[in-house]
Amino acid sequence: MHDLLDDYAQSSALRETNPRLKLLLGLGAILFCVSSVTPIAPLFVAVTMGLITTTMAKIPGRVYSRLLLIPLSFALLSATVVAFMHGTGNSLFAVDVFGLDLSIREDGANLALLLIARTLGGMCSLFFIALTTPMIDIFAVQKSLRIPESVIELSMMIYRYIFVFLDQAAMIHSAQVMRLGDARLKNSLNSFAMLSSVLFLRSWEQGERLMVAMDARCYDGQARSHGADRESGAQGGLCRGGVLGCSRGHCGLDQRHTDAVRLKMTIIIETRDLGYSYGDGTVALKGVSITLEEGKKVALVGPNGAGKSTLMLMFNGILRPSTGEILFRGQLLGYDSAALRSIRRKVGMVFQNSDDQLFAPTVYQDVAFGPSNLGYSREKVSRYVSYALAYVGLSGYERRPPHHLSGGEKKRAAIAGILAMEPEVMILDEPTSNLDPASSEEIMEMLDELNLGGKTMIISTHDVDLAFRWADEVILMKDGGVLHRGGGQEVFGDAELIRRARLKLPTVVDLYQELADRGLVNGSKPPKNILELCGLLESKIGTAQGEKAGKIYVCSVDGKDPAEVKCIIDKIRADYSGAMGSNAKVMAEQSGIPLDFTYGVIDKCILKALIGKSSLIMTSGGMVDHSLQRIGSYGQESGVRIEAVKISPEYAEQRIEPFE
C-alpha cells in the first residue's frame, strides 16, 4: 500500500499546495459527511473530492478506483446487513431464507444508502489528503499546532518503521511462496501464522537496534525539533565546508594538516585486556589489547563471529566491557551520561544495516537528529545538515523518505548523519554490505577522502580484497581475540595465518603467489593492487616503455560551473576521463561528460599513462593534491616519469601549471 499512497503524494501535482489548506479541506469534508442526515451531501463530497484528486492532483483514475474498492466493499457488506436488520415502513423487498423472513424496508434502505454515501464521501476525502499530502507535511502541521513533541516523534518513528516491516513482510512472503507456502488453504494459513510471529520477533529486535542507533547519536530521552525539511543551501550542493572542519571550504582536506596528524603518531583509542560476554554466556571478546593511531585507516578483519562488531560497539560506549578498559586520547572511558555524550560526539558509528540507523521520516530529519541532540541552534543544525548532505552527494534529498532511497543512497544518508556531528573517529560496520560493486567503491572512496581530511577511519569487514587495498593497518581477529596486526602486505602475505583465520587470500596476492611459483615475478612482498602487479610483471619480462608516458591532468571542480568545466574538457581532449568524489561526479553529469573511470581512478589513469594515453581526473578539495602526490610517488618508485598537470583556474586562457 505504501507504493500507492505516500509515493503518489510525493509526486502529486498538488504536492506543494499549502498542507494546512489541504488538511482543513479534507478533514472538514469528512466531518461534513459524517454529520449529514441525507446521502446527497456525502455523495456530492465524494464526486467533488474524486474530481480534485484525479484531475487537479493528477492521480491516475485506475489507482484511485482500486484504493476505493476495499472500503467500498466493506461499506456495501455493512449496508446490506443494516438494510435487512433495521428500519420500519413499507417493505421494498422480502425473501424467505430457511423459514426466516428477511425484508428491506424504507427506513432500512435509507439508512443503508446513507451509510454507503458517508463511507464513500469520507474515504474520498481521506484519500484526497493521503494522495496529495505526504506524511512529512502532516507531521510539520502537527508541530506548528504545538502538539506535544513526544507524540509527534513517536508517530514519526512508527511511520518510518511501517515501511521497514512492510518490506520485510514482502520478502518473507516471497520466500514462503517460492517454497509453495500458498499451495493450499492450510499451507496459506500456516504461512500467515509464521509470518506474523516472525514479524513480531523482528519488531522486538528492531526496537532494540533502534535504541542503540539513537544512543549512538547522543539521544538522552528528550524529544527535540529537528527543523524543517529545507533544501540544501550549500552552494547548489557543491560546497563542502563547515561541517567537516573545513578551513578552506573543501571539507578540511588540507594536506598539511593531514601530514601533521600522521607525524604526531598520536594514540587515539586504546584497549587493555578487553573482554565481553553476552547475557546468554557467549564470550564475544577475550584479552583484546590494541592501540589505534590517529589519522590511520584501520580494518578489523575476520570471519563471522570473530568479535569485530562487538569491539566496535565498545569504542563509543554502546557496550560496556565485562573486563578490561578502554582509553580515548589517554583518558579512561566513563559510562555516566555526560561521558557517554562526549565520547559519542567524538566517535561516530555507522551500522551495517542502514535501516537500523535511518529512523526519521525524512532524510533531513534523520541527519539533523545528532546535531539537535548536541543542543545546536536551529540555524546551525540546518547548516551542518546541508554541508553533510552535500558532502555525500545527497543535496536535494532533504524531503525524501528513507524508504525511497536505494541501498547506496541509504548508506550515504547514514554516513551524513554521523558527519553532521563532526566526529574525530568514524567507525563503519561492514560499510559495503549489500551494495553493488560501483556503490561499494564510491563509499570507500568517500572514506579515503574523509581520512585525508584528518579523520581516523575504522571499518570491520570479511572482504579481504577491500581490507588489503584500503587499510593502513589490518587487525586480524578470530574467536574474540586478535590473531595478528600489521600492514596489509604483512598480514595477507602470510598464507598460513590467513588459513587459520578461516579467510582467503586477496585475489591480487593469490595471483602474485602463483606467478612467483612459476618464476614470472620477483619481489619480497606482494603487490597491493593491479598497478603494482603490472609493474612487477614488466620489470621481470623486460618490457620497456616503448613510447613516452601519457599525461594525467588533474582538475578541481570547486568554484566552477558546468559550462566552464565542459570548456576545459574540450580543450584538453584527454583519451580517458575519471571523477573522484561525489561533487566531481555530479559536476560531470551536469556538464554532460561521459566518465570512463568512477572508482580506482588514480591507478587506472596511471595504467593508461604507461601505454601512452592521456587522462583527466576531476576531483575537489584536498583530493587534488593527493592525486598529484600519488602520481609523483609512483614515478619515483617505478622510475617512470609521468607528467601530472594541475589545471589552474585560468586554464580558459591556455595556462597550465605542471606538477613537479
- 522: phi then psi, degrees, rounded to nearest 5: -120, 155
Structural contact between residues 441 and 598, judged by C-beta atoms closer than 8 angstroms: yes
Measured at the CA of 526, the angle between CA 522 and CA 530, to 5 degrees, comes to 95
Q: Residue 224's pLDDT is what?
A: 55
Q: For residue 437, give every residue at least 6 positions away whose Cβ sits within 8 Å of its Cβ, in sequence order, or none.
A: none
What pairs with residue 658 in β-bridges? 645
pLDDT along the chain (660 residues), means of 10: 65 88 92 90 93 92 86 85 70 64 73 90 91 82 78 71 72 72 74 80 74 78 53 40 40 42 72 91 92 95 91 92 94 91 92 85 88 88 92 88 86 93 94 85 88 92 92 94 93 91 92 87 82 82 65 88 84 90 84 87 91 90 85 85 79 43
CB atoms within 10 A of CB 124: 28
Q: Residue 170's pLDDT is what?
A: 73
Cell 422480502 belongs to: 94
**Domains, the chain, with CATH or none:** 6-133 (no CATH), 149-266+329-422 (no CATH), 507-541 (no CATH), 552-658 (3.40.1010)
Alpha helix segments (H runs only) across 36-148:
40-51, 61-85, 106-132, 135-144
Report which residue type is found at 345.
Answer: R
Task: Report pTM.
Answer: 0.74
The C-alpha cell at 651 is 586554464
Q: Residue 620's pLDDT is what?
A: 82
Taking each helix axis from N to C terminus, what angle separates 623-638 and 255-264, rounded to the nearest 10 degrees? 60
DSSP state at residue 240: B
Closest to 302 measured CA to CA, from 485, 432, 435, 444: 485
CA distance 248 to 66: 55
CA distance 433 to 422: 24
The C-alpha cell at 328 is 580515548
Q: Residue 477's pLDDT is what?
A: 94
Cell 550542493 belongs to: 237
What pairs with residue 644 in β-bridges? 552
Closest to 122 measured CA to CA, from 17, 41, 66: 41
Structural contact between residues 480 and 307, judged by C-beta atoms closer than 8 angstroms: yes
Give the pLDDT confidence of 41-79 residue by residue, as tens digits.
999 999 999 999 999 999 988 888 888 887 888 888 888
Closest to 19 measured CA to CA, from 114, 137, 131, 135: 137
Q: Residue 274's pLDDT is what?
A: 94
Q: Residue 491's pLDDT is what?
A: 93
Give the CA dihedral 144, 150, 153, 157, nearest 10 degrees. Answer: -150
Radius of gyration of the chain (CA): 31
Closest to 83 measured CA to CA, from 104, 98, 62, 64: 104
What pairs with residue 579 in β-bridges? 618
Q: How far is CA 489 from CA 405, 452, 467, 470, 471, in A?
A: 37, 21, 11, 11, 10
DSSP state at residue 430: S
CA distance 379 to 261: 31
Structural contact between residues 433 and 357, judged by C-beta atoms closer than 8 angstroms: no
Q: Residue 465's pLDDT is what?
A: 92
Phi-psi region of 372 (alpha: psi -120 to 50; beta: other; left: phi over 0): alpha
Q: Residue 108's pLDDT is what?
A: 78
